[in-house]
Amino acid sequence: MALSDTKLRSIYGKPYSGPAEITDSDGLSVRVTPKGVINFQYRFRWEGKQHRLPLGKYPGTTLRDARNKATEIKESIDRGIDPRIIDVGRKTVGNPTVGECLRYWEECYFPTLRDGTKRLYTSMVLRNMREAFPGIPAVDVPVKAWVDLFSAIEKESPTKAHILIKQTRSAIGWCIRRQFLENCEVMKILPKDIGVKPTVGEITLSYNQLAKIWIAIERSRASTANCILHQMLMLYGARNSEVREAVYSEFNIEEGVWVVPSARSKTKKIIRRPIFKQIAPFLEKAHLAHGEVLFSGADGKTAMTIAGANRFLGRIQQKVDIGPFTSHDFRRTLATRLSEEGVAPHVIEKMLGHELGGVLSVYNKHDWIAEQKEAYELHAEKLFWHIKRASG
């Protein structure tokens, strides 16, 4: 049903429980909040992907204005011109705000990224910078204003400030290279001048410390998914996302192999690990409890978030008196302890899901599954021995 001024006036500024989106024609529609806030938008496809372009808020933007803008957008698309970078009644090229730059970066650049990288950018630069300098063209924000902004963040967390300036420069620089933005003073600030770099992890745990963590996990009241997730992380030494997002169909029980698909691999290559005897009971327990999605979140359908997993491990950390640690330290610990036991470096690299360098990466596609299995079983035997001793 086409929109009308009468319909918009009847909705505006009043409690609303109807559909969140009401369409007009030719891609134009409005989104309505439960409080009756109305925003015009235009939906279109560009290079095979669906996009949404905001056109203004009612009643500042009238229905006639929105329809005129929609016509201009359609004409630009028909001419083969990306409507996001031309004047359609919004800001012209070179004059978008910081928020508009980040929205353009998110819409156009994010589809090329891995899910983990998307979450990282979303939790850091989008969450913290989307509302920076509202209403002011990014090109007009002076360098001192940028410095003041990052300095305030630096007082709370030097590490966060350093990461944020790097990610903001990356996003803004991308917009400049795409000619969405002429220039921006933030590019004059060097990351080395803001905050401090995150420290590279150096924590290596002993088997006794691993045993204390294991026992604390077993005694916790957390969900089965969270407990088994972290126990399997300790046994496998895999990346958090590789285990946390795993589904049961990735585990070939008959062949005794767990295959991490390239889409979920940091190296963009398939990772093959054995299903060894000590890990099998935990895998089956997770499957019986949650089905295909082994470590599901609150909805029971999708994998739990990294934030949820980290919160749980943070609580475990408070219960065991061994200092700070993360799940990534389980990887370093496995590699170090097995190296001490004489396990070959190339086998450990495969267990960690690393890509071998040099000629090996080109010609040798062997995964040393048997050797991995032997090493994993050795690691588990030593861990369980310490758990038994620590449990009394």
The domains of the chain are located at 1-90, 92-199, 207-391
When pLDDT is averaged across residues 262-290 and rounded to a whole number, the result is 93
pLDDT of residue 361: 46
What are the pLDDT digits (tens) for 21-54?
999 888 899 999 988 999 999 988 877 788 888 8
Alpha helix (H) residue ranges in the chain? 5-11, 63-78, 98-109, 115-121, 127-129, 143-156, 158-177, 207-219, 224-236, 240-244, 280-290, 306-319, 328-340, 345-352, 358-363, 369-391
Task: Indicate whether 360 pLDDT > 50.
Answer: no
Cis peptide upstream of residue 19 (ω within 30 degrees of 0): no
When pLDDT is averaged across residues 353-366 and rounded to a whole number, the result is 58
pLDDT of residue 365: 52
- The CATH label, of 1.10.238.10, 3.30.70.1560, 1.10.3720.10, 1.10.443.10, for the domain at 207-391 is 1.10.443.10
Q: Please give the CATH number for the structural domain made up of 1-90.
A: 3.30.160.390
What are the pLDDT digits (tens) for 118-149?
877 888 899 899 898 888 888 888 898 999 99
Task: Write out the two tokens for 127.
Answer: 């969450």
Task: Indicate whether 197 pLDDT > 90.
Answer: no
Q: Is 48 left (phi over 0), alpha (psi -120 to 50) or beta?
A: left
**pTM of the model as a whole:** 0.53
Confidence bin at 251 (pLDDT 50/70/90): very high
Distance CA 193, CA 149 (A): 13
pLDDT of residue 372: 95
Residues above pLDDT 90, as percent of the chain: 47
Task: Write out the two tokens for 250.
Answer: 């990735």
CA 17 distance to own-chain centroid: 32
137 secondary structure, DSSP code: B
Domains 1-90 and 92-199 belong to one CATH topology: no
- 109: amino acid identity, one letter: Y
Task: Indicate whether 162 pLDDT > 50.
Answer: yes
Distance CA 369, CA 371 (A): 5
Q: Is 236 left (phi over 0), alpha (psi -120 to 50) or beta?
A: alpha
Task: Indicate whether 333 pLDDT > 90.
Answer: yes
What are the pLDDT digits (tens) for 15-24?
998 888 999 8
Residues above pLDDT 70, as percent of the chain: 92
When pLDDT is averaged across residues 270-289 and rounded to a whole number, the result is 95
pLDDT of residue 52: 82
Q: Is 96 left (phi over 0), alpha (psi -120 to 50) or beta?
A: beta
Confidence bin at 363 (pLDDT 50/70/90): very low
Q: Is 86 left (phi over 0), alpha (psi -120 to 50) or beta?
A: beta
More confident: 390 or 52: 390
Homologous superfamily of the 92-199 domain (CATH): Tyrosine recombinase, N-terminal domain (1.10.150.130)
What are the pLDDT digits (tens) for 79-98?
776 676 554 444 444 478 99
